[in-house]
Amino acid sequence: MTPNYYIVLSALLFTIGAVGVLVRRNAIVLFMCVELMLNATNLALVTFARVHGNLDGQVMAFFVMVVAAAEVVVGLAIIVTIFRSRRSASVDEASLLKY
């Protein structure tokens, strides 16, 4: 088994997520891209746990899942509130604060 492939895949997914956050406009899609970054990290953690033969990385992956779930709760609450008051989830339209 070559762990390198998994690390490369994880880095690719992380990059796709990061680029997605930078170029997409819808808050929900942005948020999904952040989740993609977190899950890419999980893949790297589990792969490294296999490489090192200890469980720390897998334990961390569980923590990341829990934190990601908590983040979904908070994030969706904020996005839904914004959507209700503006009828739009576009991050370009949330531009009252600038300069």
Partner 1 sequence: MNGLIALVPIPTPNMDLGQIAPLEIVFGAALISVLVEAFVRREGRRRVQLVLVFASLIAAVAALVGLAGTRTLTAQASVAVDGPALFMQGTVLLLAIVGALLIAERSIDPAGDAFAPRASALPGGREERELTAAGWSQTEVWPLFLFCVGGMLLFPASNDLLTMFVALEVLSLPLYLLAGLARRRRLLSQEASLKYFLLGAFSSAFFLFGTAMLYGFAGTFSLGGIADALSGNAGDNGLVMLGVALLAVGLLFKVAAVPFHQWTPDVYQGAPTPITAFMATCVKVAAFGALLRVMYVALGGVRWDWQPMLWIIAIITMLVGVIVAIAQTDIKRMLAYSSIAHAGFILLGVIAVSEAGIASTMFYLAAYGFATLGAFAVVSLVRDSSGEATHLSQWAGLGKRSPVVAGIFTLFLLAFAGIPLTSGFTSKFAVFSAAIAGGATPVVIVAVFASVISAFFYARIIVLMFFAEPAEEGPRVVLPSAFTALALAIGVAVTVLLGVLPQPLLNLAQQAGIFLR
Cβ 67 to partner 1 shortest distance, Å: 5
Identify the residue among 9, 16, 32, 38 touching partner 1 (CB under 8 A): 38
Q: Which of 9, 19, 54, 92 binds partner 1 (CB under 8 A)?
A: 54
Half-sphere exposure of 1 (CA within 13 A, CB side): 7
Does 29 interact with partner 1 (rule: CB under 8 A)?
A: no
Task: Please give the Cα distance from 86 to 78 (Å, whole number).
Answer: 12
Residue 16 Cα distances to 33, 59, 93, angstroms: 8, 25, 24
Q: How far is the CB of 91 from partner 1 (least distance, A)?
A: 7
